């Protein structure tokens, strides 16, 4: 699906020749029990309110609007303004400050644009402060609108009933303001990367097996001017990548390791590696998963999709840091050639690992990639993966778990908070490591007694064994946040979310500071 064309405008929203004007609506305290809600139209659309001669809030209230976050109410303009349709999106309670927080704007813009049917040209007259908070607000509105417009219908044999939104204009105090225009460009790059990651995650697994995924990533990276190297199964065997080979050996589609490189024009301020788990489909292998919900395991390559998409955004943004992306790709299948519980693997670098559960395969391919990435001399290593069900149990489907170097984990948390991809630092307890001692190898891949305690931490502890001591690192477990199986909300549709592309991009651009 083509990305809608975003622009900025500073003219009167009531006179703009578009198909729909999007406005914000707050709920206000004070309505007595059973009484109609007290509504407040958000800033940014004063001329639209005036055009309705004071009847806008009353009419919206009659249509059932409450101002609740994400609620969408549509109203025919009937000639009151140039646009034939007004869409009011709930922004929640009246803000204490001058404007709602960026994430409220991002979700509101996403919900409103997502609800449009047949309106090709949309304009957002939502709150944008005329102060230092302006850039963040502009970025949030553009990101929300473009991500809310996302649809994946690559396998539909009939065209959509309604045409997609083709253009989105955002109302700002000054459309020529450099900071606002810079944030528009930045948002377009970020959302383009997120949408690319979503497309890869939503692709049917029979069409995105490791060789095909590697080919697509290599082609996209090459077009973006990035250096690309793809190791096939023969090169992996020569290089001693025992984890990637073991996981992939049960599939007729052999594994791959993709390296993507970006080098800045001058001396790099820092060297950063991004590593993403790329299990293109996860049956669990011999330790097979239950049938119910297994189809969602096409998303087990969301980490690799996020890293690849982030690298494309890096190529466009051209930060003053050197960045490498590492994508270990495999398909975890049961067969006569599959790896087994009880196997001992020789990982890249020589460490011996005892396998107890073939459904804990992601950490095996990541360990090889992490060890290899550290050989290049890094300042930071950021790894992301749909690694453990324990992340979903502990933090739910919307908050990622972060483990690793304490200071860097806090930077990840702050970056996620800034872009609307929340993450929470978690510990790597020593007793969890003790529980992974193996009687026959250097470490067990999971708890040696198969105890399901601290399962999210088990994944992080295992990966820590393969990180060079001098490298600051963070493991971002997005088992829940990377895939949304429920009803759409905000700027998220059902399926792949693109998390944590925006977090990774934010870190690449801010870590040197």
| pLDDT of the residue at 493 | 93
Q: Which two tokens stand for residue 267?
A: 């001396």
Q: How many Å apart are CA 273 and CA 257, to the nearest integer? A: 14
Torsional class of 413: left (φ above 0), alpha (ψ -120 to 50), beta (otherwise): alpha
**Cis ω on the peptide bond leading into residue 133 (within 30° of 0)?**
no
Q: How many Å apart are CA 109 and CA 233, to the nearest integer? A: 45
CB 20 within 8 A of CB 163: no
pLDDT > 60? residue 31: no
Residue where the block lists tokens 């299948």: 333
| Among candidate residues 370, 278, 382, 372, the one with its CA nearest the CA of residue 328 | 278
Which residues are known to be catalytic?
289, 363
% of residues, the chain, pLDDT over 70: 98
pLDDT > 70? residue 32: no
Pairing of the two strands 5-9 and 167-171: parallel
Summarised one tens digit per residue, pLDDT across range 412-459 is 999 999 999 999 999 999 999 999 999 999 999 999 999 999 999 999
pLDDT category at 35 given cuts 50, 70, 90 is low
pLDDT > 80? residue 352: yes
| pLDDT of the residue at 28 | 84
pLDDT category at 154 given cuts 50, 70, 90 is confident
The whole-model pTM stands at: 0.96
CB 229 within 8 A of CB 256: no
Summarised one tens digit per residue, pLDDT across range 284-306 is 999 999 999 999 999 999 999 99
| pLDDT of the residue at 164 | 80
Max Cα distance, the chain (Å):
80
Mean pLDDT value of segment 84-89: 98
**pLDDT, greater one: 96 or 470:** 470
| Among candidate residues 232, 223, 220, 224, the one with its CA nearest the CA of residue 258 | 232
| pLDDT of the residue at 265 | 94
Beta-bridge partners for 124: 22, 170
Q: How many Å apart are CA 113 and CA 96, to the nearest integer? A: 26
pLDDT > 70? residue 70: yes
The two counts, helices (H) then strands (E), for the chain are 15, 21
Q: How many Å apart are CA 147 and CA 502, to the nearest integer? A: 12
Q: Which two tokens stand for residue 275?
A: 């590593």
pLDDT category at 103 given cuts 50, 70, 90 is very high
| pLDDT of the residue at 99 | 83
CB 32 within 8 A of CB 210: no
pLDDT > 80? residue 29: no
Give the N- to C-terminal CA distance of the chain in Å, as an integer. 36
Q: Which two tokens stand for residue 46?
A: 């004063």
pLDDT category at 33 given cuts 50, 70, 90 is low
Mean pLDDT of the chain: 96
């Amino acid at each position: 699906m083509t990305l809608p064309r975003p622009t900025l405008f500073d003219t009167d929203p009531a006179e703009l020749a578009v198909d729909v004007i999007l406005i914000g609506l707050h709920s206000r305290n004070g309505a007595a029990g059973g009484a109609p809600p007290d509504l407040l139209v958000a800033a940014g659309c004063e001329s639209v309110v005036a055009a309705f001669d004071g009847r806008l809030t009353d009419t919206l209230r009659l249509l059932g609007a409450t101002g609740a976050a994400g609620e969408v109410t549509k109203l025919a303009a009937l000639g009151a303004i140039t646009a034939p349709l007004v869409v009011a999106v709930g922004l929640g309670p009246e803000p204490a400050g001058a404007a709602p927080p960026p994430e409220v704007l991002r979700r509101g813009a996403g919900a409103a644009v997502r609800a449009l049917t047949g309106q090709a040209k949309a304009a957002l007259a939502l709150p944008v402060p005329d102060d230092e908070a302006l850039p963040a607000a502009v970025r949030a509105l553009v990101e929300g609108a473009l991500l809310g417009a996302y649809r994946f219908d690559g396998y539909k044999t009939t065209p959509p009933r309604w045409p997609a939104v083709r253009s989105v204009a955002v109302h700002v105090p000054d459309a020529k303001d450099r900071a606002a225009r810079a944030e528009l460009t930045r948002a377009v790059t970020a959302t383009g990367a997120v949408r690319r990651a979503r497309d890869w995650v939503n692709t049917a697994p029979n069409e995105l097996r490791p060789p095909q995924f590697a080919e697509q990533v290599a082609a996209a990276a090459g077009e973006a001017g990035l250096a690309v190297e793809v190791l096939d199964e023969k090169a992996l065997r020569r290089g001693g990548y025992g984890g990637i080979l073991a996981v992939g050996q049960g599939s007729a589609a052999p594994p791959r390791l993709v390296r993507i490189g970006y080098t800045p024009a001058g001396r790099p301020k820092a060297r950063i590696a991004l590593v993403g788990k790329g299990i293109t489909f996860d049956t669990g292998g011999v330790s097979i998963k239950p049938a119910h919900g297994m189809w969602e395991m096409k998303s087990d390559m969301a980490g690799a999709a996020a890293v690849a998409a982030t690298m494309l955004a890096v190529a466009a943004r051209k930060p003053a840091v050197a960045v490498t992306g590492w994508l270990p790709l495999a398909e975890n299948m049961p067969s006569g050639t599959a790896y087994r519980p009880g196997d001992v693997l020789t990982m890249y670098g020589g460490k011996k690992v005892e396998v107890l559960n073939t459904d804990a395969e992601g950490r095996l391919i990541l360990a090889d990639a992490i060890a290899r990435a550290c050989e290049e001399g890094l300042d930071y290593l950021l790894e992301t993966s749909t690694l453990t069900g324990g992340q979903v149990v502990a933090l739910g489907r919307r908050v990622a778990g972060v483990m690793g170097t304490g200071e860097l984990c806090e930077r990840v948390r702050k970056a996620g908070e800034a872009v609307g991809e929340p993450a929470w630092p978690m510990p790597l307890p020593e007793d969890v490591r003790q529980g992974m001692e193996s009687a026959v190898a250097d470490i067990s891949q999971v708890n040696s007694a198969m105890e399901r305690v601290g399962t999210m931490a088990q994944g992080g502890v295992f990966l820590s064994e393969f990180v060079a001591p001098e490298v600051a690192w963070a493991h971002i477990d997005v088992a829940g946040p990377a895939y949304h199986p429920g009803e759409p909300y905000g700027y998220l549709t059902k399926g792949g979310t693109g998390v944590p592309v925006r977090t990774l991009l934010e870190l690449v651009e801010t870590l040197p500071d």
